[in-house]
Chain A
Amino acid sequence: MTLFEELQQAIIDGKAPVAKELTERMLKEGVRPAEFFPKAIIPAMDEVGRRMRECEFFIPEVLIAARAARGATDILRPLLVGDESIRPVGTVVCGTVKGDLHDIGKNIVAMMLESAGFRIVDLGVDVAPEKIIEAVRQHQANIVAMSALLTTTMVNMKAVIEALAAAGLRDKVKVLVGGAPVTDTWAHSIGADGYGKDAPAAVELARQLAAA
C-alpha cells in the first residue's frame, strides 16, 4: 500500500490520529500539500459517500471519517495559503434555515464539501435570510446550501431565494437545498438550482454547479 492509500484507509476507518501522523510523515518526505487532496482526501471521502449511500456507513461512521479527514486538512490548509495551484473548487455558504435547529445533516454535507475541496462558510442553525445575503457578499460565494428538517420551516428556503433576488445576487449564486421533508419537486417550485437527496448527492451536485 502506498502512503496515499494508507491515508485514504485511515480516513475511511475514521482514525484521526493515524491520519494526522501520516500527513505529517508524508510532508516530511517531501509530498507537496496540494497533492493530498486529489490523491487521498477526495477519493477517501468519495468512498465514505458511497458507503453512506449504500447504508453501509451511518451517521457516526461518516462523522468520525470526516473528523479524520479534518485532522489531515487542518495540517494542510495553512500550508496552502497563497498556493494558486489549489484554489477552492468553490465557496459555499451553508446553514439550517430560520426556525429550525437540526444540524447533523447540514454538518455532514459541510464536512464532505470541505473534503471535496470547497471553501465552507457555515452559518450554523436558525439562520435568517439577511445573514445569508451578508455572507454571500462578504465571501463572494458561488453556492448557497440550505437545510430544513421540518415541513413548517422549509418554506423559509423560499424566503432566502427571494431575498437573494431582491439583493440582486440571485444570478451570482447557485442554490442547493436538502433535508428530510424536501423533494425535487419542492426544490423546483421555489426556484432552487438543485436538490441533494443525501450528502453524497449534494457534493456531486455542488461539483456540477461549481463547474457550470
Chain B
Amino acid sequence: MPEKPTRRIVLRPLQAGLTAPQGTALRDLLFAQGVEFPCGGQGRCRGCRIRVLDGTAEVNAAQRERLSAVELADGWRLACQCSLGDNLVIELRQWDAAILADDTPFAFQPRAGFGVAVDLGTTTLVAQLLDLSAGRVLAVRTSLNSQARFGADVMSRVRFAVAEGGHNQLREMIRLQIGSLIEQLVSAAQAPGAEVQDVVLVGNTVMHHLFCGLDVEPLSHYPFESGQLGLQTFTAGQLGWKLEGNPRVRFLPCLGGFVGSDILAGILATNLGERENLNALVDLGTNGEIVIGNRERLLCASTAAGPAFEGARISMGMRASTGAISEVKVEGQEIHCHVLGNVPPQGLCGSGLVDAVAAGLELGRIQASGRFSDGAGAWALSPPVALTQGDIRELQLAKGAIAAGIRMLLERCGASARDLERLYLAGAFGNYINRASAQRIGLISLPSEKVEAAGNTALRGAKLALFALDGEDGSYARLRSRIEHVALNAAPGFQEIFVEELAFPQGTYA
C-alpha cells in the first residue's frame, strides 16, 4: 500500500513545525501541542479557532455557523473541523496555561516517608512530591489534563462519557497521565529508595468519578446527584501504577454534584470549619463554587457562571497570555491598559475584562444597567482591542451568578456580607483579578482588604490530608456531615436574586 504523502504545518507564534500524513485531523495534531477544544471538537464553540496564514483549510457548515463571512475570508477556521490537506502556516488563538502550584507553608505532624498530592483539575493537573518528615515539597509537575481534547468543561466530558461511550477511555487516559506525573516526580527528586507511602488526589466531582471509574450519568441531568461521593481508596497497582511498595492512593470525597473534593480540600486549607467568625471561600470558574461558614455551620453551593472569567465568549477574549490586556487603570479621564509580554494588544483576558468594565463604570461610560452611556456598540480600549456591549452582558451573567450564590448562602446563614471576616478567592483567577475592580462590578460586595487571594487551596488541602492524624482515613466523615449542600438552581428565589444581581452597583468607591 502506498504511503500517504506528508504535509507540513507551522504553528505561530511558537514557530513550531510538524509533519504529518495528509488528511490528519488538526484536532489530533494540535491537541498533542496542548491546544484545547472547549466543546470537545464538536464545532459548537469558537474556542479552537485558528487563522490560516498560508495554505488552504476547508470550510464546512459548522464553521459557517460559528464564524462570520469576514472571519472566514480573513482565514479564520475552527481547528476541530479541519484536516491537513495542504501545507499550512497557522496562528493559534490560545495560550500556555498558567498553572498554579502551591508553596504556602502549613502546619503539619511529621511522619515518615514520602507522599504525593495531586490537584486533578478539569483543565490542569498539579502534582507535588513531599518529604513527609519535613513537610517539604521536593518536586512539582504540572500538565494540561489530557481529557481536555474531549471537551474543556465538565459537562462536555460527561457528555462524551455518557453519549459517546467514552467513559473507559477517559478513565484510562487520566490514570495513565497521573501515573506518569508521579513517576516523573519520583525520578526528579533524585532520592534513591524514596518510597512513596501515600498519594492523595482532589478534584471536582466529575474528575473524581471519571478517575475512580464511577458512573457519571447521574451528573448529566437534574438533580445532579450521585450516590458515590465518598472517599475512594486504591492501591497503586490497581491503577496500573508501578510504584515501589505499592502505596495507597486516596481520592478525597466530594460534597455534591458540582462541589468536589477540591472544595473539601479548600475548606481544610482555609480552616473555614474551625473558626468562630463567618468566612467564605469562592472558586471562580465556569462553575463557581462557594462555601460560607464557621465552626457552627458550613454551607456550600455551585453556580453556573459560564466561561466569561476565562475570556471565552468575549468578542476579543483570550486567556492570560502574551498580547492579552490584563489590567485597565483609570488615570484622570483616561484609561491605561497593561498588555502581557510587552507586545501590541491582541485581546482581553478575564482580569482585563473585569478591570475594563470597572473603569467604564467609574468613568460613567457604562451605566449600572450595563449599557454604554453613549449608546455605542463598543469601547476602544487600546486599538485594536475593544469592549463590546455584548461582552459586558456576558460578564454580567458571570458576576450575577457568583454574587447571587454568595447572597443566597449568606441569607441562609441569616447573615450579610458585612458579617464576613474574610473572603478567600481560590484558584488562578482569584490571584489575577483586581479586588477593587471585583468590588466595583459587584462580583464581591466586600471591601478589598477583606478579600484574600488564597492560591491553590485544593492542592494545599490535599497536602494536609497526607498528614492527617492517626485514625483519620481521609473520609472526613465528621466534617462532611456538617456541610450542607445547597442546590441553588432549585432554591426558591434564586432566579429573582440572580436577575437582581445582573446590574452593577451604583456610585463610586473612592
B396 interfacial by beta-carbon distance below 8 Å:
yes
**Bound CA span A183–B375, Å:** 29
**Contact assessment for B502 and A59 in the assembled complex, using a CB-CB cutoff below 8 Å:** yes
| Residue from B221, B388, B495 whose CB has the most chain A CB atoms within 10 Å | B221
Q: Are A58 and B220 in contact (CB under 8 A)?
A: no
- Interface: A2 (CB within 8 A): no
Is the CB–CB distance between B163 and A155 below 8 Å? yes
- Complex-state Cα separation, A60 to B370, whole angstroms: 10
Q: Are A150 and B44 closer than 8 Å at their CB atoms?
A: no
Q: In the complex, what distance in Å separates the CA atom of A90 from the CA atom of B222?
A: 31
Contact with A along B36-68 (1 / 0, CB 8 A): 000100001000000000000000011001000
Which of A59, A61, A126: most chain B Cβ within 10 A? A59
Residue among A54, A101, A153, A181 with the highest chain B CB neighbour number at 10 A? A101
Q: Known: A152-B159, A153-B220. Is A104-B61 also a contact (CB below 8 A)?
A: no
B window 363-408: CB within 8 A of A: 369-371, 375, 377, 388-390, 393, 396
In the complex the two chains form, what is the Cα distance from A150 to B61 in whole Å?
Answer: 22
- Contact A55-B393, Cβ < 8 Å, known A60-B369, A151-B159, A184-B65: yes
Residues facing A in B85-103 (CB within 8 A) are none
A146 to chain B, nearest CB (A): 15
Q: Is A20 an interface residue (CB 8 A)?
A: no
Classify the secondary structure of A's interface with B. Answer: loop
Task: Tell me whether A99 and B221 are in contact (CB under 8 A).
Answer: yes
| Cβ–Cβ < 8 Å partners of B375 in chain A | 56
Residues from chain A with a CB closer than 8 A to the CB of B162 are 152
Give A55 to B159 CA distance when docked, in angstroms: 31
Beta-carbon contacts under 8 Å, B2-60 to A: 39, 44
Assess A60 versus B499: contact at CB under 8 Å? Given A55-B389, A99-B222, A152-B221.
yes
A33-88 contacts to B (CB < 8 Å): 54-56, 58-61, 63
The listed residue (A60, A125, A185) touching B65 by CB distance below 8 A is A185
- Please, which residues of chain A bring their CB within 8 A of the CB of B228? none
Question: Given B389, B489, B495, B499, which contacts A56 in the complex, CB threshold below 8 Å?
Answer: B389
The chain A residue with its CB closest to the CB of B163 is A155
Whether A122 sits at the interface, judged by CB under 8 Å, is: no
| A101-B489 contact, Cβ under 8 Å, with A55-B377, A152-B221 | yes
CB of B420, distance to nearest CB on chain A (Å): 26
Whether the Cβ atoms of B44 and A183 lie closer than 8 Å is: yes
Interchain CA distance A60-B404 in the complex, whole Å: 14
| Also in contact, A152 and B155, with CB within 8 A (given A101-B222, A101-B490) | yes
A174 within 8 A of B: no
- B233 at interface by CB-CB < 8 Å: no
Cβ contacts under 8 Å, B390 to chain A: 55
A126 touches B222 (CB 8 A): yes
CA distance A125 to B487 in the complex (A): 15
Measured between beta carbons, the chain B residues less than 8 angstroms from A150 are: 155, 220-221
- Can you pick out 11 interface pairs between chain A and chain B where the beta carbons lie within 8 Å of each other? A56-B375, A63-B499, A100-B221, A103-B495, A126-B222, A152-B155, A152-B158, A152-B220, A153-B222, A183-B65, A185-B62
A56-B375, A58-B369 known; 18 new pairs, CB 8 Å cut-off, are: A54-B389, A55-B393, A58-B370, A58-B371, A58-B396, A59-B499, A60-B499, A101-B222, A101-B490, A104-B495, A150-B220, A151-B156, A152-B158, A152-B159, A152-B163, A152-B221, A155-B163, A185-B61
